[in-house]
Amino acid sequence: MQETTPSLSHISRRGLLRLSLGGTAMASVPGIGWAAAGAAAAPVFADGLPRSRPEAQGISSASILAFLDDAERGAFELHSFMLWRNGHVVAEGWWDPYKPERRHMTHSLTKSVTVCAVGMAIADGKFGLDDKVVSFFPEHLPATVSANLAAMTVRDLLTMRTGHESMVSGSVWRPIRTSWIAEFFKIPVVYTPGSRFVYTSAATYMLSAIVTRTTGQSTADYLKPRMFDPMGITGYEWDVGPEGISPGANGLSWKTVDSLKLGILHAQNGQWNGKQILTKAWVDSVHAPHTKDKYGYQWWLGPNGAYNADGLFGQYAVVFPEQNAVLALNSALPPKAGFNAGILYKHFPAAFGGTVAGSEKDYAVLKTRTRTLQLQPPMRPSTSPVAASVSGRRFEFPENPEKVSAMQLDFTPETCLFTMQDERGTHKVQVGLRKPFEGDTTITGNKLHHEYQPEVMRVVASGEWRDERTFVMTWTFVESAFRDTVVCRFAGPYLRFDRSVNVNSSATELPTLTGTRVKT
C-alpha cells in the first residue's frame, strides 16, 4: 500500500527534518498543520497528531532523559519511541538508520491488533465469545474430536486458555504451506479449556481464521475501512498465510506512530476523532484480568492499571489509562531481557506527575538528544591491500547446512558488492565503505530472523576492514529488529565466512563456512 500523506516521509529522506521532540516550530514545513491559530498553537504533523512540550502535559523533560539514559546504560537497543499524553505527542525519537516513515515488524504486538477485529466482528453479530471453535471449521476437524477440543470456545482463545500443554511459536508454522487450521486441530487438548493459561500464537491465529471465516475477509482487509482508514494508518503490510488468512499473532509491519495510535484508541475508550471504533465495553474487556497470569484479551496487564501490547524483541504500545498517556516503542531486545520491570515500569507512570515547572535547559537537552540518536558508532573508512586481490574472485563452498554454493566480493573505493548463491538463487547486498548504503536484498536470513524469510528485505549496510585480512559488514534490516554482523576472513585461497545477529528466538550465529577461491 502507498502512503497517502507522503510529505513527512519525503522531507525526512531529504534530510530536512528528523522528527524529534514535540513542540518544535514546524510552520514552514510542508505536510504539517496547526491545531489552532496563534503563536501558542500546537503543531500537527502529517500523522494527524498534535505536538506539545512535555512540561505542558505534566511531564518533565528530565524524566524522559532519565528513561533514555537508563536504557543506554542497560544496553537496551531501542529503535524508536513516541510518548503521548492528553491528546499530544510530547517526545519522540528514532535511532538512525530507523526513521519515522519506516515500517517495523511487530511480532506479537500484532495479537492486540487482531483482537480489535474480533471485538468488531462480535459487535457486528458475526460470532460470540462462547461459540465453539470446532463449529467454524468442520472440514478441518480430525477423525476423532476429543471432549476437550469440542468444549474450546472463542473466549478460551482470547484468554490463552485453550487446554494446550505447551505454546506454539509463529516460527513453527511459518514454513508450513498447508492449512494452519488443520495444524491447530492436531495439537492435543490435554486440559479442560478455560482451566490453564498457556501463551501460544496458535490461539490468536485461530481468532484471525474465525474473523476470515465469518466475514469473508482477511483480518487486515476487515480492519481497513473500520479502523485503519479512520485512524490514518497507512503504508502497513500484513502477511497472509495459507487459505488467505492473516497469521493473527504476528506478521504485521507498520510505523511506530501506528503502534502509538493503537494505544491512544484504547486510552480513549475506543474513540477516534469522535467516532466509536471499538465499543467501550470491548476496551474494558481487553484489559480486564481474565486470568491470574496478568493477561486480558491478548493484552498484558502491568502495574497501576497500565496494560500493553507486546511483541517479541521489544515492540510496545503501553497504555496508562489513569494518566491518559501512551508510550510506543520499537527495539531489539533479547527474550527475557528484563526491560519491563527494569526500565519501562521503573520510569512510567512515575514520570506523569502533576503540574511541572518547565526547565529550558532540560528541554533543550532533550531536543538535541532526540534529534541525534544513533544506533551504531560512526563509520571508520578503512582499506586493505587484500581488497584488490580478492575483488571479483569467486569462492566456492562444499555442501553445507545453509546450502550456500558460492560468494564474491567486488570492491570499489566507495562500496563493496557482496554476492551469494544458495538454493534460493543469487542474492546481493550493496555495502557502503565510507557511509552506509541503503537498498534491497533477497538474501536468506530465516534461521537468524525468527524464521522470517520475505522475498525482499530493506537493508542499510556498511563495511570496514578490522585488520588486513578481516572484512566486517553490518547489515541492518531496518524494517525489523534484526541486525547481522558478517565477518569475511581471507587466508591464502580460503574465505572463512561467519554470520551472527543481534537478537533471535533461537541461535544467534551460524556455523562457519569455508570457501575456496576458484582458479582463473
* pLDDT tops 60 at residue 405: yes
State whether residue 149 is helix, strand or coil. helix
* pLDDT tops 60 at residue 313: yes
* pLDDT tops 60 at residue 14: no
Average pLDDT for the chain:
90
CATH topology for 107-252 is: Beta-lactamase (3.40.710)
CATH topology for 1-106+255-273+296-375 is: Beta-lactamase (3.40.710)
Question: Where does the pLDDT of residue 309 fall: very low under 50, low under 70, confident under 90, or very high at 90 and above?
Answer: very high
In sequence order, the 6+-apart residues with CB closer than 8 A to the CB of 502 are 77, 332, 481, 482, 483, 484, 485, 508
Which has the higher per-residue pLDDT, 11 or 272?
272
Q: Using one digit for the tens of pLDDT, what is the confidence trace for 70-83?
A: 999 999 999 999 99
CB 256 within 8 A of CB 100: yes
Q: Using one digit for the tens of pLDDT, what is the confidence trace for 336-375?
A: 888 998 899 999 999 997 667 767 899 999 999 999 999 9
User: How far is it, in rounded angstroms, from Cα 278 to Cα 116?
Assistant: 7
Q: Is there a common fold for 1-106+255-273+296-375 and 386-517?
A: no
User: Which residue has cell 497528531?
Assistant: 49
User: Taking the domains of the chain in order of start, what are their residue ranges?
Assistant: 1-106+255-273+296-375, 107-252, 386-517
DSSP letter (8 states) at residue 21: S
Entry pTM: 0.90
Q: Using one digit for the tens of pLDDT, what is the confidence trace for 286-308?
A: 999 998 889 999 999 999 999 99
Longest dimension (CA), the chain: 75
pLDDT, position 370? 97
Paired residues of 416 in beta bridges: 411, 431
* CA quadruple 428, 433, 435, 436: dihedral sign: positive
Domain range 386-517, CATH class: mainly beta
Among residues 157, 151, 149, the alpha carbon closest in space to that of 115 is found at 157
Q: Using one digit for the tens of pLDDT, what is the confidence trace for 214-242?
A: 999 999 999 999 999 999 999 999 989 99
Q: Using one digit for the tens of pLDDT, what is the confidence trace for 75-125?
A: 999 999 999 999 999 999 999 999 999 999 999 999 999 999 999 999 999
* pLDDT tops 80 at residue 32: no
Directed axis angle between helix 109-123 and helix 201-215, to 10°? 30
